[in-house]
Structure 1
Amino acid sequence: MQEILLHLPYFGPVSHFRELVKPAGICFENEDNYQKQTYRNRMYIYGANGKLLLNIPVKHLPKSKQRQHQKYRDIKIEKDLKWQKQHWKSLKSAYQTSPFFEFYEYEIAPLYLKDYNFLMDFNYDCFDVIRSCLQLEIDFKKTEEYFNDANDFIDKRDLINAKKNIEIPEYVQVFQDKFGFLSNLSILDLLFNEGPNTTNYLKSLK
């Protein structure tokens, strides 16, 4: 059976986790170049005023070196900005009235207290927390070289593109009565609203 090749996002969208629950091996792309405007350092949640972007600030190369490519695994987080405090505050504000926020918050909150240097390290920890919350046994590998044509894999790396519009079936969201259903938000939106049913929902997606 072919493995599914994916990028590692920051609490990726529902469409990303739909692939992770499929009965196939998972391989994360560790050798790609970093690109802006992707789910590597951003997620979207449902805030009181609609769709809300949470973005992790990253260190940029000096202007003299900005034409050079940086590997995703080498991207450092910009620590001068108090993004962790702001992201956790936004998550609490958005989901503290959701059915399952209190059930999971003590597993997720430590991510916003620990000091991280590299974005990829943080994202792997986010992934581990979701696996724990959903009690998912997901074995995965990491690439050791970059494949431009990943013919030996089921290539789903395009799911990292935050501009990609993907529609998914509705579930009940906290502020849905105000702005309607918002499709393909962060896995946290599904988790806080659906709780233990999250895995069944993901497996039902085509």
Structure 2
Amino acid sequence: MHGTLLHLPYFGPVTHFAEVVNAEQLWFENDDNYQKQTYRNRMYIYGANGKLLLNIPIKHLNSPGVKQHQKYRDVRMEKDFDWQKQHWKSLKSAYQTSPFFEFYEDDLAPLYHTDFEFLTDFNYRCFEKLCECLQLDIPFEKTSEYIKEPLEKNDRRDLINAKVDSRTPAYNQVFQEKKGFLSNLSILDLVFNEGPNTINYLRELSFRP
């Protein structure tokens, strides 16, 4: 079946969601190995001092001298400290004066006050909650095996790489007068600043050269 194939991020960047809203059929890679330095467990927001990383700590497999791979779907989140409380506090601090934070606050807050064990379970719930906030009805499928070069799918799994610098058109941001426009932050930055206009922005972005 034709469709767009993506990795599932933690409130991924704007460019990732431009692919989501314009996909005829959406597939999430569900059988890949977990990799570091990706949006699987991190997002970037606009804090008072500029670009701010919010990182979800995960449990690593510990076998001295042996390199072990974990399936993304098997990765558990670390609970030694309350990262959920920290992330929600950072989001409130960064966006409580944005035009639409209060509008979505009650919908998103439970994500940071609910216990999750697996990273993918949390990320799927974040995706579903975001779709609810934006009134998006986007059905998706999960892959059942890893295919390096899938046929008949628009393979955009590259967008999960947090080291790739992508440029996005400017919109109003809370601290823009201090640090200027910061491009391709977490989708939450766009949502809190643009609200319902987020969908129009994403659809237009996908058609830019």
Report if TM-score (shorter chain) is over 0.5. Answer: yes
TMscore range, shorter length = over 0.9
Partner of 1:96: 96
SS in 1 for 2:64: helix
Partner of 1:62: 62
TM-score normalized with structure 1 length: 0.98
Contact 2:4 2:23 in 1 (8 A): no
Deviations 1:102-148 (A, max 9, x none): 00000000000000100000000000011001000101100000001
Alignment of 1:28-67 (within 5 A): 28-64=28-64, 66-67=66-67
Partner of 2:156: 156
Q: Distance in 2 between matches of 1:104 and 1:97?
A: 13
Match for 2:71: what amino acid?
K
Q: Does 1:6 align with 2:6?
A: yes
Match for 2:132: what amino acid?
S
Alignment of 1:164-179 (within 5 A): 164-179=164-179
Q: Distance in 2 between matches of 1:190 and 1:6?
A: 20
Match for 1:12: what amino acid?
G
Q: Summarize the Cα distance change of 1:20–1:110 in structure 2 as closer, same or farther, 3 Å threshold.
A: same
Q: Summarize the Cα distance change of 1:29–1:105 in structure 2 as closer, same or farther, 3 Å threshold.
A: same
Q: Distance in 2 between matches of 1:16 and 1:98?
A: 22
Q: Distance in 1 between matches of 2:27 and 2:142?
A: 5
Q: Distance in 1 between matches of 2:48 and 2:62?
A: 37
Partner of 2:181: 181
Partner of 1:26: 26
RMSD of equivalent CA atoms: 1.0
Structure 2: runs of 5 or more not aligned: none
Q: Distance in 1 between matches of 2:140 and 2:147?
A: 17
Q: Distance in 1 between matches of 2:159 and 2:61?
A: 26
Q: Distance in 1 between matches of 2:117 and 2:178?
A: 38
SS in 2 for 1:45: strand
